[in-house]
Amino acid sequence: MVNSLHWVDSLIIFITLLFVVSVGIYFSGKQKSSDNYFSGGKKIPSWVIGMSIFATLISSVTFLAYPSAAYASNWILLVQGLMVPIVLVGMIWIIVPLFRRVIRLSAYEYFERRFGFFARMYSSIAFSLTHFSKMGTVLYLVALALNSVAGFSVTTTIIVVGLVIVVLTLLGGIEAVIWMDLIQGFLLIVGGLICLSILLFAPEGGPSMVISESFNWHKIGFGPYDMDFAKLTFIVMVCNGIFYAIQKYGTDQTIVQRYLTAKDEKGAKKAAYLGVFMSVPVWTLFMCIGTALFVFYQTTANPLPEGIKADQVFPFFMKTQLPVGVVGLVLAALLSAAISSLDSDMNSLSAICVQDYYQRFKPNCTDKQRLRMGRFFVLLSGLGCIGVALLYAAWEGEGVLGIVFELYAIFSAGIVGIFLLGLLSKRANKQGLYIGIAACVLFTAYAVLTSTKIETEAGKQLIWDLGKYNFPHHKYMLGVYSHIIVFVVGYLAGFFFKSKTVDESLTIYGYWKEMKKRKK
């Protein structure tokens, strides 16, 4: 392993990793029950939870892939994030009390109570597939950056950083995860602001010139604005963003689990809003970095290596333009971004494994057994994350942010459709939903097979070529269509089956009744 870092920068990185392990050890003594391990005893302050939600949403994907996307194109991928506050302002007030009232730990318990056991298994498996693909990407990007800047082996970095995160999460539980996220969130913001400040003031002419050139090069914008679903357009990202927001805040265990750690409903809502409104400015910050990077290398006498990829430009800038000490601080922020996302994923995957699977098949298990299995599943998910990241490294992925969005669309599996069907309809039943899920699975298989190209002896070819009947739209639309199919087909198919009386507390109508009672 060749280390091109100054010893000061290497020391900062080493201290960061050591501190992470120390936090896990510190909180390990408090993990005496599965309730504390997974929900922190429901006593964590709302502002800390909000920072944790923010830090969970902001990972090394944000730190590296957003700048690379903005450098290569414009801000179109930010549209997904901009949809989050628009959608969530109208939904948090329903979603938070719903989950705090009807589930114990797993978000997918709601699906079982509304539609039966299969719905719970289907949705929890979809969550697991989505997050394993994301976790591997996050860890791979960190390793790629440290390799570019410091010369660290990608494989070694993946293993070392992955194991450090496993130790933090396995020993400290959700409480260590959330408090660590608080520190890492601040580090992330500081690191991003330092980089942007240097990029704005380094070129001759300063910020005004950078902004002017950004518009001249058409780097600040969200287009193309065509009503075309076949290409990556503004309307595609709007649709994708709406369903992403509902899926993340209404069906994602990493976020729902944090609603349960707050002292009360009011605190959980505050945390959710804080997480949302902190994330959008930081997503924008890293898009600004990508745009400023483009202007920097277009207007200054600092050449880029020939053939450098967009994903590698920001790491190259860190290596060549940041002073000693600042390099270490920014890399520490990058590590923190990855850790704050992955520790949440590991704890949440463990939570659903314990409650959705282990506890179901061993209903008489003791709390001590649940705690022990929780730690085992953290270890298992951590090793799985490391394995996926190593596959990415072997693949030498290009355009990672796009890959993440595509996998998210494929693995989303219509889960938002299930959630909205249960929430908005008293008439919907499990038989109709299962038909909707079957239709969704068939559609997704058709769309993926007829739009994915693989390398063959004759060149790149579609897996299944149906000519003019191939899936015609952008892959980001897969997630949108899958949710709509589950909702529409599931609702209509339900009319062919007799519906049982539904517990109104599981629907929006029960919430409205509760609100009316409180007003009286």
Within 10 angstroms of residue 18's Cβ, the number of other Cβ atoms is 11
- Residue where the block lists tokens 């939570």: 351
CA distance 167 to 342: 12
Could you tell me if 341 and 60 are in contact, meaning their C-beta atoms sit under 8 angstroms apart?
yes
How far apart are the C-alpha atoms of 170 and 168, rounded to whole Å? 6
Same domain flag for 113 and 252: yes
Task: State the total domains in the chain.
Answer: 2
Which of 12-16, 149-153, 296-300 has the weakest average pLDDT?
149-153
396-430 pLDDT tens trace: 654 444 455 455 556 567 899 999 999 999 999 99
- Do 267 and 348 have their domain in common? yes
What's the rounded mean pLDDT across residues 192-218? 94
pLDDT at 409: 54
Residue 375 and residue 505 in one domain: no
> In sequence order, which residues have a C-beta less than 8 Å from that of residue 20 and are 6 or more positions away?
164, 165, 167, 168, 180, 339
What is the distance between the alpha carbons of residues 286 and 279, in angstroms, rounded to a whole number?
11
Q: What average pLDDT does the segment 293-312 reach?
A: 90
Q: List the domain range (segments joined by +) for residue 233.
A: 12-26+44-412
- Do residues 425 and 404 both lie within one domain? no
Clarify whether residues 481 and 384 are in a common domain. no
pLDDT > 90 in the chain, percent = 55
User: With 50 as the cut, is the pLDDT of residue 1 above it?
Assistant: no
Answer with the one of 412, 444, 476 that is the final residue of a domain.
Answer: 412
Mean pLDDT value of segment 494-506: 88
The reply to whether 428 and 398 lie within a common domain is no
Measured distance between the N- and C-terminal CA atoms of the chain, rounded to whole angstroms? 69
Which pLDDT tens digit goes with each residue over 368-389? 999 999 999 999 999 989 988 8
Contacts of 368 (CB under 8 A, 6+ apart): none
User: Does residue 5 have a pLDDT over 70?
Assistant: yes
Query: Which of 148, 101, 458, 482 shows the shortest CA–CA distance to 322?
Result: 148
Indicate whether 456 and 347 sit together in one domain: no
Is residue 6 domain-resident? no
Residues 419 and 307 in one domain: no
Q: What's the CATH code of the domain at 254?
A: 1.20.1730.10
Assess if residue 63 is contained within a domain.
Answer: yes
SS3 459: strand
Q: Is residue 2 over pLDDT 50? A: no
Mean pLDDT of the chain: 88
Q: Is 31 a domain residue?
A: no
Residue 5 lies in a domain: no
State the pLDDT at residue 366: 94
Question: How far, in Å, are 184, 283, 402, 478 from residue 77 at the CA level?
Answer: 24, 10, 9, 16
Q: What pLDDT is attached to residue 504?
A: 87
Distance CA 26, CA 30 (A): 8
Ranges 74-78, 192-196, 444-448: which has the least confidence: 444-448
Buried/exposed 39-63: b ≥16 CB within 10 Å, e otherwise: bbbeebbbebbbbbbbbbbbbbbbb
| Shared domain check, 173 and 230 | yes
Q: Considering the domain boundaries, does residue 496 fall inside one?
A: yes
Please tell me whether residues 372 and 467 are part of one structural domain.
no
Indicate whether 3 belongs to any domain: no
| Residues above pLDDT 70, as percent of the chain | 95
In a domain, 38, yes or no: no
Q: What is the pTM of this model?
A: 0.88
Is residue 225 helix, strand or coil? coil
Residue 75 has pLDDT above 80, yes or no: yes
308-324 burial, b at 16+ Cβ within 10 Å, e below that, comes to: eebbbbbbbbbbebbee
The per-residue pLDDT for 411 is: 57
pLDDT at 431: 96
The pLDDT of residue 497 is above 50: yes
Residue 37 has pLDDT above 60, yes or no: yes
Of 348, 383, 412, at which residue does a domain stop? Answer: 412
Domain boundary pick from 396, 412, 428? 412
Tokens of 433: 């939903």
125-131 LR contacts (CB < 8 Å, sep 24+): 125/413, 126/411, 126/412, 126/413, 126/415, 127/251, 127/252, 127/253, 127/352, 127/415, 128/349, 128/352, 129/411, 129/413, 130/407, 130/408, 130/411, 130/412, 131/254, 131/345, 131/348, 131/349
Q: Is 131 domain-assigned?
A: yes
- Count Cβ neighbours within 10 Å for each residue of 157-168 and write b for 16 or more, e otherwise: bbbbbbbbbbbb
Q: Identify the weakest region by mean pLDDT among 248-257, 448-457, 464-473, 477-486.
A: 448-457
Same domain, 105 and 225: yes
For residue 231, what are its two tokens? 């290409």
Angle between helices 154-201 and 117-150 (to 10 degrees): 70
Judged by average pLDDT, the poorest of 49-58, 144-153, 452-461 is 452-461
CA angle at residue 462 from 140 to 137, to 5 degrees? 10
Residues 320 and 455 in one domain: no
Q: Cα separation of 159 and 385, whole Å?
A: 10
Supply the pLDDT for residue 452: 80
